[in-house]
Amino acid sequence: MHEDPVMAAISLIIKELYAAEAKYPGWPDDLIHAVGIITEEVGEAMQDAIDLTFWKHSSPPGAGSNAEYRTSRLNDLRCELAQVGAMAVRALMNLPSSIVSPETERQ
């Protein structure tokens, strides 16, 4: 019997979430930096997707066989996508429940 693909993906995300929290226990207080972390991970996933798309029939010089290169990049992409999910979960966990208006903040 095969593992449920949803549970497999969520398991990868949870594994990355715990690893990230252990390595980087803090999380930015401001929304721009918090979302920037997610954006960084998305950019890394995009680079892996680009590499897989444009190196279909050969591998970069010095990268070994095409099959080895593509398998490695696919594993990298899987890891990056799990990191995207983990950082999105962290952002959700740390998202404030409400926003204080600038007028209220000054009082």
Q: Residue 34: what pLDDT?
A: 95
* DSSP label of 97: S
Q: Which domain holds residue 24?
A: 5-94
Residue 102 covered by a domain: no
Residue 53 covered by a domain: yes
Residue 65 covered by a domain: yes
81: Cβ contacts below 8 Å, ≥ 6 apart: 45
Each of the 107 residues of the chain gets a pLDDT tens digit; together they read 678 999 999 999 999 999 999 999 999 999 999 999 999 999 999 999 998 888 766 666 666 677 888 888 899 999 999 999 999 999 999 998 777 666 655 55
Residue 106 covered by a domain: no
What's the structural domain count of the chain?
Answer: 1
- pTM for the model stands at 0.82
Residue 25 covered by a domain: yes
As given in the structure block, the two tokens for residue 47 are 């680079």
Residue 56 covered by a domain: yes
Residue 49 covered by a domain: yes
Burial of 35 by CB count in 10 Å (0-12 exposed, 13-18 middle, 19+ buried)? middle
Q: Residue 66: what pLDDT?
A: 76
Greatest Cα-to-Cα distance within the chain, rounded to the nearest angstrom: 65
Q: Residue 63: what pLDDT?
A: 63
Residue 90 covered by a domain: yes
As given in the structure block, the two tokens for residue 78 are 């899987």
Task: Give the chain's count of helices (H) and strands (E).
Answer: 4, 0
